[in-house]
Copies of this chain bind each other. A is one copy, B any other.
Amino acid sequence: MYLSYTAGGLGAYSDSRGLPGIRKEVAEFIERRDGYPSDPELIYLTDGASKGVMQMLQTIIRGNGDGILVPVPQYPLYSAAISLFGGALVPYYLEETANWGLDINNLRQSVAEARFKGITVRAMVIINPGNPTGQCLSVDNLQQILRFCHQENLVLLGDEVYQQNVYQDERPFISSRKVLLDMGPPISKEVQLISFHTVSKGFLGECGQRGGYFEMTNIPPQTVDEIYKVASISLSPNVPGQIFMGVMVSPPKPGDISYDRFLRESKGILESLRKRAHMMTDGFNSCKNVVCNFTEGAMYSFPQIKLPPKAIAAAKSAGKVPDVFYCLKLLEATGISTVPGSGFGQKEGVFHLRTTILPAEEDMPAIMASFKKFNDAFMDQYDDHRGYSRM
């Protein structure tokens, strides 16, 4: 079926925006998801979502006076791309004690501070579900964000690549676009939104194919045309990745021969990930000096590790940032490879690590036991007050 979109093969360039047939399927997927029609002409396929995010940031950033609001902790794509394009990253902190929620006052303060420095804030990034923080944004929170973007005339970049990865039922994924359109005019007609999705996450996880799309809402037609022109410089996104996108957005339907198997397998993967999210969070929280919010969505656990002064001093004399020091010790002792929280941004004086919930379900108990054993030994070595109450 997909070969009919490509005149019979994968060997030719496609339209620089992607194959029209696939963009139509993406539009149908979005309509089924949100309950509002979507226009295939406003959907561009990309070599993975990252390339789409980069293209949009490059379009928005005119120079070093332009700022982009980015959540901290954040996925380093944003800091790296903003730096590459010569813009300014304007951080807004997610509240760890409020389950990595977004405080709108905090956001206002970030914008005010940036303005004071002469920065024109042009856009705001949200990552929902969060990477590396794993939270799912509520409808209420999304409405606040959209009202804020309306007031401040910000383009909203909605990184929604983990929309299929949700591990609780209280806050199912809801797209920024649905919340926007539900709000009605003037906001629904005026806030400019670009939403990103990928074949790399979900239960498909086909990262190597580099398939992604972005959908533009309320973007002026001349801007859409310019974005097309820029996309055409590099001719077209890779065609196999586009086909994967088609497969992802048009899964088997009831009555299709593969429907039962698809349902069983996809459900199985997501249920297992949910179990793993619980096992990992519980494992971290079983350590006295570790505090970890539950992974509501995405694929990551981002526990805070409370490091005693002696560990911080030892890190310093080893010439390392404390969380890097801890993660390297963990790697050496157990073979568990994690990413220090400093790579994602964190508040001054607190330390995290990021890990994925992707190890096999049956391996998870041994991994968390190994982590706990390491952490206990680390604390025995570096915490003089071990056994006493700590903050």
Query: Hey, which bits of chain A sit against chain B, CB under 8 A?
Result: 6, 9-14, 47-48, 50-51, 54, 58, 77, 80-81, 84, 200, 205-210, 229-230, 233-241
Contact = CB atoms under 8 A, between A and B. Distances in A.
Given A11-B209, A13-B200, 13 more contacts: A6-B208, A11-B207, A11-B208, A12-B208, A47-B51, A47-B234, A48-B238, A50-B233, A58-B84, A80-B230, A80-B233, A84-B233, A210-B239
Q: How many copies does the complex hold?
A: 2
Contact of A47 (B10, B77, B210): B210
A235 B48 contact: yes
A84 B208 contact: no
Nearest to A233: B80
Which has the most chain B C-beta neighbours within 10 Å: A58, A80, A234? A234
Given A81-B233, A238-B240, A208 B13 contact: yes
A190 B237 CA distance: 36
Contacts of A238: 47-48, 208-210, 238, 240-241
Nearest to A211: B238
Contacts of A9: 208
A66 B233 CA distance: 20
A43 B241 CA distance: 23
A387 to B, nearest CB: 43
A320 to B, nearest CB: 20
Given A47-B47, A84-B230, A230-B84, A236 B209 contact: no
A234 B210 CA distance: 9
A14 B6 CA distance: 26
B54 A207 contact: no
Nearest to A63: B86
Nearest to A80: B233
Contacts of A11: 205-209
Given A77-B233, A84-B233, A234-B54, A208 B48 contact: no
A23 B312 CA distance: 41
A207 B12 contact: yes
Contact of A209 (B6, B54, B80, B239): B239
A50 B235 contact: yes
Contacts of A206: 10-11
A239 to B, nearest CB: 4
A84 B341 CA distance: 34
A47 B237 CA distance: 8
A7 to B, nearest CB: 10
Nearest to A239: B208
B234 A50 contact: yes
20 contacts: A11-B206, A11-B207, A11-B208, A11-B209, A12-B207, A12-B208, A13-B200, A14-B208, A47-B51, A47-B238, A48-B235, A48-B238, A51-B234, A58-B84, A77-B233, A207-B236, A208-B238, A208-B240, A209-B240, A238-B238
A207 B16 CA distance: 12
